[in-house]
Structure 1
Amino acid sequence: MQASLLTAVKVSFHPRVGVTYDLNDHVMSYATIAKGYRSGGFNVFAPDGYSKTFDLESLYSYEIGIKGVSINNTLTWDMALYYMDISDMQVDVYIDAANVIKTNAAEATSMGVELSLDYQVTSHLNLFAGFSYNNTEFDKYNDGQTDYSGKKTTFSPEYNYSLGALYRATSGYYASADLSGYGDMYLDTNNKYKRPAYELVNAKIGYEADNFDIYLYAKNLFDKNYDIEGHYEGVYSYYNPPREVGLSVTYRF
């Protein structure tokens, strides 16, 4: 066990540097470079012949962006472009129906764009929206049987977006609703199984006071079903949370 522990635990340095530049009083640009990581770990139930540990995953991330606010401060917006170079990517390996382990077997790149808007229509009404597009794929990954180079990585939606509104009255009553959408997402490295795009609606209505909040909420308001059954030759299934309606109370001392 001591040898396994030493292979799984490593010390790594992860710096981040960035610069900003004000284009004018209402628009700011920036650029960052950072090194990130995902910790290694253990394959506790790995069968004989498979590694009991997997190593740290690391990446270099490059991002440029711009942020702005309107002259009257009612509209704020931002846009960012990013690129990630990923090494020793952690991937799931399906050994059989009862065993899924992680291994470091891939290099990948991820690139995309993110946009967001926030508009204060009145002192009581706020509208917001966001959109992101992502393309993440294996640059190099061969498990000895199949070459997955050029395939999409798993659990990475192609896009997601959100639209919403929030109304907050002077008296303390408020209501909000939002629509969130998610693009196609592959579930396996061979890109055979995927979850199709879907949308969810959430809503909330309540009252805010100085020392307490109370609200009625609904998640997945229209009870959208986005289950996936039969992944990996019918063995694995992914079930989504059904509609949830509840009452929440928060008290501040």
Structure 2
Amino acid sequence: MSGVLADKVAVVTGGSSGIGLAIARKFVAEGARVFVTSRKQAQLDAVVADLGPSVVAVRSDVGDLADLDALFAAVREQAGRIDVLALNAGGGVVAPLEEITEEQFDTTFASNVKGVLFGLQKALPLLSRGASVIVTGSTTSVKPDPGLEVYGATKAAVRNLVRSWTLASKARGFRVNVLSPGPTETPGLVGLVEDDQRSAFLDQLATGVPLGRVGAPDEIAAAALFLASDASSFVNGAELFVDGGYAQV
């Protein structure tokens, strides 16, 4: 298959919906063989049916180290290497300071920080020379949004981790960058409000974006493709904001 990722092996965590699914779809379209993870088997089955034989679905909770071991064991057995590692899985809930619970804190840090750190650690033996590692960040790491304090803290944490990992990239032979979306119309975002409030919710978010609209998952995936491809071969340790200017002004 032709494409800028022809014959590449990619892993996309949290790849069954939203931005992760858009990234997986873009990678497949550009010739990659893609391992996609999700905690929900039904969603994984739908991804395979949608994207076809170039996708391998692995049920995995990135906050569970045993699941991560099983994921990379499957990649080792079926592909033997990783050329692109997109550590995208994560999430969060909206809660003001006085309502944040210990469970919310632990769950958010487990998926958004623990899953990224140990995801990369366990993938290291499989990373090919020149591999691209892409960590999904967020504008909340630099521009706090009300009620998303814990989520924003996790994204600030992974941004700092990537800075540290950049120092190791020469010896390890990989590049690592952060891809930080702004407000993007995904199931996770619109799921924060009731169905009859979604249109007004997105319109309100759009008022804070200089381009006057929220983003689409395909737009984030296009930036992920750039970071995954040789077009970004000298991009390392960067944070690429795809946010319509939201966190820039």
Asked if TM exceeds 0.5, the reply is no
**Greater strand percent: which structure?**
1
**Greater helix percent: which structure?**
2
Q: Which has the larger radius of gyration?
A: 1
Normalising by the residue count of structure 1, what TM-score does the alignment of the two structures yield?
0.30
Normalising by the residue count of structure 2, what TM-score does the alignment of the two structures yield?
0.30
